[in-house]
Structure 1
């Protein structure tokens, strides 16, 4: 499917990995795809977001506010609030852990047991020839600090971008289709990010589509 992406849309996927690295994340999620799209404020779809006040800077602040820890499936604001109702304060737990063990103590990955590492190496050897998903994207993208995986929600967004292109009867997948797909995101990270940005995704989708019709 990746061969159907336009050059700017392909660059969004590449830049999303750079955005993840710059934020110290070891995953590529919908938040990084949106940040990458905003690097090109003049592209269709992105231009609508920028016109309505969504910028790379405001988006990066929203991502930092919503995403915590070093896991693409980190607890979102709704989870934290629910735990607080039971007397569990995640912020207080983090403060105490970092006070005792240093900054980022809760973000350090858990070491894999030796037996697990051996099994993991054998699995990787068997699976190297099948390391590409249905999108034609590698499951992990090599980088200077290791491999960055695409989360399920990021892959879903890229798949939805194809559906957006088909629905509009466009021959290739452009940044506008990626943006439209991201605005359909129903995961907690996307919802929290748009909430921080003050964006109603459904209404923004309608405005993007209106701008695309005007430009046609």
Structure 2
């Protein structure tokens, strides 16, 4: 399937791995594909998002907020639950940092090299981008198809990131399709 990707769409797939690596994530997710797509603001699909005010910076902030809530880190509710058992989470963090160095309890970060696998939801986006290409009778999978595939996802992380960006997937799908019709 990768041979059907345009040069720019391939750059999104490669860029998604770079995004995941730079964020220290274990898998390439839809959020990384979205960040990588926004690196190409003049391309169909990403251009529509940019016109709506989505930037790499705003997307990165949305991803950070969503992933922090998903990432297995203990949040305020967890700290309160532990406090009812007589466990002070902040005190444990302070002691660990004091004994083992700052960030001792933080999740380990991946190195700068090595393959990062695609999460199932990111693979699904690539499959959906192929379906978008077929539905439009296009020969190559372009940036617009990848973004349309992203907008079709209904998993919690993707929807949360899009929501934080003020993106209503069905509305933006129609805007992208209208942009494509206008460019034809």
Is 1:153 aligned with 2:150? no
Q: CA deviation at 1:101?
A: 2.2
Once the 2 structures are TM-superposed, how far is the Cα of residue 199 of structure 1 from its aligned partner?
Answer: 1.0
* Aligned-partner Cα distance in 1 for 2:179–2:166: 20
- Residues 16 and 101 (structure 1 numbering): CA distance in 2 closer, same or farther, change over 3 Å? same
Please give the TM-score of this superposition, normalised by the length of structure 1: 0.71
Cα RMSD, aligned residues only: 2.6
> Match for 2:140 among 146, 157, 172?
172
- Give the distance between the partners of 2:137 and 2:92, measured in 1 at CA: 53
- DSSP-derived class of the 2:117 partner: strand
Query: Any stretches of 5+ residues in structure 1 without a counterpart?
Result: 110-142
Which residue of structure 2 lines up, in the alignment, with residue 74 of structure 1? Answer: 71
Is 1:205 matched with 2:173? yes
The equivalent position to 1:98 in structure 2, one of 74, 80, 93, is 93
Superposed structure 1 runs of 4+ greater than 6 Å apart: none
1:27 maps to which residue? 27
List gaps (5 residues or longer) in structure 2: 98-102
Alpha-carbon shift at residue 93 of structure 1 (Å)? 7.8
Rate the CA distance shift 1:6–1:106 in 2: closer, same or farther, 3 A.
same
- Whole-angstrom distance in 2 between the partners of 1:146 and 1:6: 24
Q: CA deviation at 1:145?
A: 3.6
Shift in CA distance, 75/4, structure 1 to aligned 2, threshold 3 Å: same
TM-score by length of 2: 0.83
- Which residue of 1 is the match for residue 4 of structure 2? 4
Q: SS at the partner of 2:53?
A: coil
Contact 1:45 1:177 (C-alpha < 8 Å) held by counterparts: yes
Residue matched to 2:155? 187
Measure how far apart 1:20 and its partner are: 1.1
